[in-house]
Structure 1
Amino acid sequence: MVEAQAPLKHGGWITFPFFIATMAGLTLAAGGWNNNVIVYLIEEFNIKNIEAAQIANIINGCVNLFPVVAAIFADSFLGSFGVIVISSSLSLLGITLLTLTAMLDPLKPPSCETGSSFCQNPSKPQLFVLYTSLALASLGAAGTRFTLATMGADQFNNSTHQGIFFNWHFFTFYAATLVSVVGIIYVESNVSWGLGFGLCVLANLVGLVVFVLGKRYYRLLKPQGSPYTALARVVVAAFRKRKELQSSNSQDYYDETQKGQRNIVGTTPSNKFKFLNRAALVTEGDTNLDGTIKRPWNLCTLQQVEDLKALIKISPLWSTGILLCTPIAIQISLIVLQALAMDRHLGSHFQIPAGSMIVFVMITTSIALAIIDRFLIPMWQKLFGRSPTPLQRIGLGHILTVSSMAISALVESRRLDSARSHKLYGNSAVPMSALWLVPQLVLVGAAEAFHFPGQVSLYYQEFPKSLKSTAAAMVAVFIGIAFYLGTAVVDLFRKTTGWLPNGINDGRMDNVYWVLTVIGIVNFGYYLICACLYKYQNVEKAELNDTNSG
């Protein structure tokens, strides 16, 4: 994977404050603009509600999908330090441009009453600056999201210390996000968009400067190439040798020793996905005289073949995460539109910013994680003699997510009834408290507390050793795909139904939630089938073999 460039005296706890401060600054910056971008597009750029929600979905898809690309660049070319510096610089540039769109009148259309038919659409140059700023800020946030955690863990040799670092890293992420959702978004919605985005610029700048200042203390690791390249070689080699006859003799396959040479006493490849075994089949001209591989795109090791097989085996379970997160991705954007069309007052003076509704998800997730760790897992151990498996935790997340969609449909139906009874059309706010949206958000938060740790634990446990560093990022991949798929689903609803017009009081958003409920139920059934058929591959305790039905 990687080897140390710096002396052993580098790294350790002296680097801890730099990584935590960097994480706090960059998270404050990203959370401050990203979680309120729908409201900004609607109120300042006169973009239609559903279109603004679609843009937000694309942004969130980028932020969740591109961390894997950043990880590949870090492993293969630039190293983690280079990727973090470049990414945080891109986000700084993007948020600065976004701040300018809020402060300079020529960069945005004239202000008008939100939803009015007389509002002027943004010009092409204005949209170009806006989309450029959002693209840069999104790519920057994606590039640091997991790379910063990986580099921070690389500073420690002790696995216990690495665990402590991860705990503080994710605590900082949640704490900084809460501050941005509550504090910075309040400034944007009630004081000034320019000031709010300016605070994001300041937080990003502080994070970047602190990170660079700590360079002399870091243990920098030399990029050694992405493990995904080896997996690609297996596919290419197997295809090139597709006409070769497979052998039952273990010595005909390339089994690498620890020194990188061929092991004469080879092992036989597994029988599953046998067509891939040809990639490790030694043919004339594949090896050098010393036993090393001569043509890496024509011959792979048995371990690389088995690594790819392991990914294929777990891919059906991984795919269930896409449709698990797609309803959540759609709900996150639609919740903002619902909140804008409801009474958000708490008392006579304070009004909850629509973009801050997600805070209920984060608070619930944090509380649920503590309850699961301190109470549920010990209780489960007393009742069943073992901890819940990752598959069981993911299954509970499916159930809670489906329940959240059903409650969302019921609440939206009630909101629409209120709009009709008061003869309110378009996006006019109904006399119904936005706190009605809290129960469904609480359920989503509880669902995430179950299935996200379960997903990370499952992939970290089951992924090949060569892919351990990107196992957690695979969760981000299906979240990113889910946001893009959610965008496509919403577009499909808009083109084929009248459920999502620009004025949500004139549509049937409750039907959208009912469809998402059905999708969740079907996907849960698919998940149960995959979980029942799946056999744990890397389990140290035999008792887990009896729980693979999840």
Structure 2
Amino acid sequence: MENQAFQIGKASLLTKQSMGEPKQLTSSIVILVLATNIVYISNMLNLVTYLHDRMHADIASSSTMVTNFVGATCAFALLGGFLSDSYISRFKTMLIFGPIEFLGLASLALQAHLPSLQPPKCDTVNEWNSCKKMSNLDASILYLSLYTVALGEGCLRSSMASFGGDQFDENDPIESQQKSSFFNWYTFDKSLGGLLGLIFIVRIENNKGWDYGFGVSALVILFGLVSVASSFSFYRIQRPRGSPLTRLLQVIVAAFKKRKLSLPENTDDLHQLDIKEETFGMEVLSHASGLEFLDKAAISHGSTGAWSLSTVSQVEETKIIIRMLPIFLSSLSCYICNPLLVIFTVQQGNTMNTKLGKIHISPTSLVIIPLTFQIIFLVLYDSLFTPFARKFIGYRTGITQLQRISVGIISMSLGMCVAALVERKRKRVA
């Protein structure tokens, strides 16, 4: 793979030797990852406070609005992934949707700054019943701004990690090892961004004002986008190869259409394009046993359209995705806990004494605790555990990805058990 070609800049193709090192190529991506998490995590966690104290929404409505906002961000990530895989590159996806997030934050800052676009200020603690609620215009601007941020953040989120991974050649032993390390540090940057956001952005919003907080957030996003755009000429940009979900559906539909046909005795008779004919960057996969009913999609019989005839590579790709479903479904348990962390922890903190001596910790800033532990763990894992495990186990990333997922799921389950015990005691004391 010494002369593997990548798309660089607008359209030219250069060999690996003429490009920058992957670590250099990912440095500006890391800055954008840091910027987006400084902004998103801090504002997401502090949003309940803003909606209740400044926009005069009750706690239940505020919590619902935030969970809907988080859900919309995740849904828009699917849209961004589909667009970047099928029609535009991941780099263009970031350049298109990054400014959209910037505009959403700027709109929130403008609404927080102009008294005419928000309810009159009042004491939400002692005079809640007399506080004027949001007008239809106020609510419309708020919702439009929030979901503009969700659209930009979701589509950015779907591209940043995979675009960083594109800078490494999986077939190069050295770069393959660096790629695994990159994703460790990608997670580190997400946690560090959240930590910095909770320290600085939340402090600005609580002490200087929400307009300052949202305005600074918009500038942080802009800085990250400029950083990524400045290295445009050096990136390894993968051409769009179509959405894996589309190819999966094509294989399933083609296999269903040919469900009554018999498989050939020789699997070499199944439809497979020549390597030279394969789509640029697509790996040619050999036939493997298992899930034989999908092999019927590659039987050459009648129509040759994309929804009637699939290649062996497409069939094997579909098998891989189906085999990963148990891992995917089990991993959902970790993300189900996130809304509790976002909404419930802040509300818990509002009812508890969050002072450490003379230091008062904002309820929103309580999330600093798990973020700090995550940062420390990632540094120790990548710097100490992985080299140690690689030496004794022989696996290039220390332990397998599946083992890492298992440890994560078990840890999350134990954490939620502890959280349940803490909440039980809190309710007893309250």
Identity of aligned residues (%): 28
8 Å contact kept, 2:31–2:227: yes
1:295 Cα deviation from its structure 2 partner: 2.1
Structure 1 partner of 2:213: 196
Q: Compared with structure 1, are the counterparts of its residues 108 and 141 closer, same or farther at alpha carbon in structure 2 (3 Å cutoff)?
A: same
1:344-363 matches, within 5 Å, as 344-348=354-358, 350-363=359-372
Asked if 1:404 is matched to 2:421, the reply is no
2:374 is aligned to 365
- Tell me which amino acid in the other structure corresponds to 1:400: S
**Matched positions, count:** 405
CA–CA distance in 1 between the matches of 2:57 and 2:325?
Answer: 38
Distance of 1:32 and 1:129 partners within structure 2: 21
CA distances 1:310-342 after superposition (whole Å, capped 9, x unpaired): 222221232112233313432431011111122
Residue 31 of structure 2 corresponds to which residue in structure 1? 21
Give 1:179's aligned amino acid: L
Cα shift at 1:268: 6.6
Listed as ranges, the matches of 1:83-232 within 5 Å are 83-115=93-125, 116-155=128-167, 159=175, 162=179, 166=183, 169-232=186-249
1:361-510 superposed matches below 5 A = 361-373=370-382, 388-419=399-430
Q: How does 1:176-325 map to 2 (within 5 A)?
A: 176-260=193-277, 270=289, 272-284=290-302, 286=303, 294-325=304-335
Task: Write the distance in 2 (CA, Å) between the matches of 1:138 and 1:231.
Answer: 27
Q: Aligned equivalents of 1:14 and 1:410: distance in 2?
A: 46
Query: Residues of 2 paired with 1:244 and 1:189: CA distance?
Result: 67
Q: Which moved more, 1:221-230 or 1:159-168?
A: 159-168
**1:380–1:81: structure 2 CA closer, same or farther, 3 Å change rule?**
closer
Partner SS for 1:122: coil
| Counterpart code for 2:343 | S
Aligned to 1:395, the other structure's residue is in SS state: helix
CA distance, structure 2, for counterparts of residue 134 and residue 268 of structure 1? 47
Q: Structure 2-normalised TM-score?
A: 0.82
Letter in 2 for 1:44: R
How do 1:72-87 residues align onto structure 2 when only pairs under 5 Å count?
72-87=82-97
Q: Which runs of 5+ in 1 are unaligned?
A: 287-293, 420-550
Q: Structure 2 matches for 1:37-56, cutoff 5 A?
A: 37-56=47-66
Task: Provide the rounded CA distance (Å) in 2 between the counterparts of 1:175 and 1:136.
Answer: 24
Alpha-carbon distance in 1 for matches of 2:189, 2:334: 26
Q: Aligned pair in 2 of structure 1 residues 343, 146: CA closer, same or farther (>3 Å)?
A: same
Residue 526 of structure 1: aligned partner: none
Q: Distance in 1 between matches of 2:12 and 2:89?
A: 13
Name the CA distance, whole Å, in 1 between partners of 2:394 and 2:233: 49
- Structure 1 distance, partners of 2:286, 2:26, is 44
* Secondary structure of residue in 2 paired with 1:113: coil
Q: What do residues 450-471 of structure 1 show as CA deviations (whole Å, max 9, x unaligned)?
A: xxxxxxxxxxxxxxxxxxxxxx
Conserved? CA contact 1:67–1:142, under 8 Å: yes
Superposition CA RMSD, Å: 3.2
Letter in 1 for 2:152: G
Name 1:6's counterpart in structure 2: 12
Note if contact 1:75-1:224 (Cα within 8 Å) is conserved in structure 2: yes
Q: Distance in 2 between matches of 1:27 and 1:395?
A: 25
How far off its partner does 1:50 sit? 2.9
* Residues 14 and 313 of structure 1: CA distance in aligned 2, closer, same or farther (over 3 Å): closer
Assess if the C-alpha contact under 8 Å between 2:355 and 2:361 holds in 1: yes
Q: Is the partner of 2:276 in helix, strand or coil?
A: coil
Distance, in Å, in 2 between the alignment partners of 1:307 and 1:110 is 57
**Contact 2:254/2:307 (CA < 8 Å) preserved in 1?**
yes
CA contact (8 A) 2:346 2:363 kept: yes
Amino acid at match of 1:395: S
Contact 1:95 1:137 in 2 (8 A): yes
- Matched-pair contact (CA < 8 Å) for 1:42–1:49: yes
State the secondary structure of the residue aligned to 1:355. Answer: helix
Distance across 2 between alignment mates of 1:36 and 1:317: 32
Q: CA deviation at 1:170?
A: 4.2
Query: In the TM superposition, what is the alpha-carbon distance from 1:140 to its structure 2 partner?
Result: 1.0
Q: Is the contact made by 1:14 and 1:217 (CA closer than 8 Å) also made in structure 2?
A: no
Q: Report the CA distance between 1:390 and its aligned residue.
A: 3.9
SS at match of 1:343: coil
Cα displacement (A) at 1:250? 2.8
Structure 1 CA distance for aligned equivalents of residues 51 and 134 of structure 2: 10
CA distance in 1, matches of 2:336, 2:129: 32
SS for the counterpart of 1:329 is: helix
TM-score after normalising by structure 1: 0.66
Tell whether the 8 Å contact from 1:91 to 1:140 is kept in structure 2 after alignment.
yes
1: CA distance, partners of 2:242 / 2:257: 23
